[in-house]
Amino acid sequence: MHKHERQDALIELLRVDKISSQGELVAKLTVLGFNVTQASVSRDLVELGIAKLNGQYTIPRIADPAGVFGTVRFDSAGDSLIVGKCASGLASAITVRIDRTAIPKIVGTIAGDDTIFIAVKNSESQEAVLAELANMFG
Distance CA 74, CA 100 (A): 18
Indicate if the pLDDT at residue 61 is higher than 60.
Answer: no
The 3-state secondary structure of 104-127 reads CCEEEEEECCCEEEEEECCHHHHH
Q: What is the pLDDT of residue 14?
A: 87
Pairwise pLDDT comparison (47 vs 20), residue with the higher score: 20
Indicate if the pLDDT at residue 58 is higher than 60.
Answer: yes
In the chain, the percentage of residues whose pLDDT exceeds 90 is 46
Indicate if the pLDDT at residue 116 is higher than 90.
Answer: yes
What is the DSSP track for 83-95?
EEE-STT-HHHHH
Distances in Å between the Cα of 22 and the Cα atoms of 28, 42, 51 are: 10, 7, 11
Strands (E), the chain: 51-53, 56-58, 73-77, 81-85, 106-111, 115-120
**Mean pLDDT value across the chain:** 87
pLDDT band at 3 (very low <50, low <70, confident <90, very high): confident
Could you give the domains of the chain?
Answer: 3-58 (1.10.10.10), 65-137 (3.30.1360.40)
Average pLDDT over residues 42-64: 77
Q: What is the pLDDT of residue 64?
A: 44
Among 102, 109, 71, 108, CA closest to 88: 71
- Mention every residue, 6+ apart, whose C-beta is less than 8 A from residue 70: 86, 87, 90
Beta-bridged to residue 111, according to DSSP, are 116
Q: Is 6 helix (H, G, I), strand (E, B) or coil?
A: helix
Computed on alpha carbons and rounded to an integer, the radius of gyration of the chain in Å comes to: 16
User: For residue 4, which phi and psi values (nearest 5 degrees)?
Assistant: -65, -40
Q: What is the pLDDT of residue 60?
A: 67
Distance CA 73, CA 91 (A): 11
pLDDT band at 25 (very low <50, low <70, confident <90, very high): very high
Indicate if the pLDDT at residue 85 is higher than 80.
Answer: yes
Q: What is the pLDDT of residue 15?
A: 83
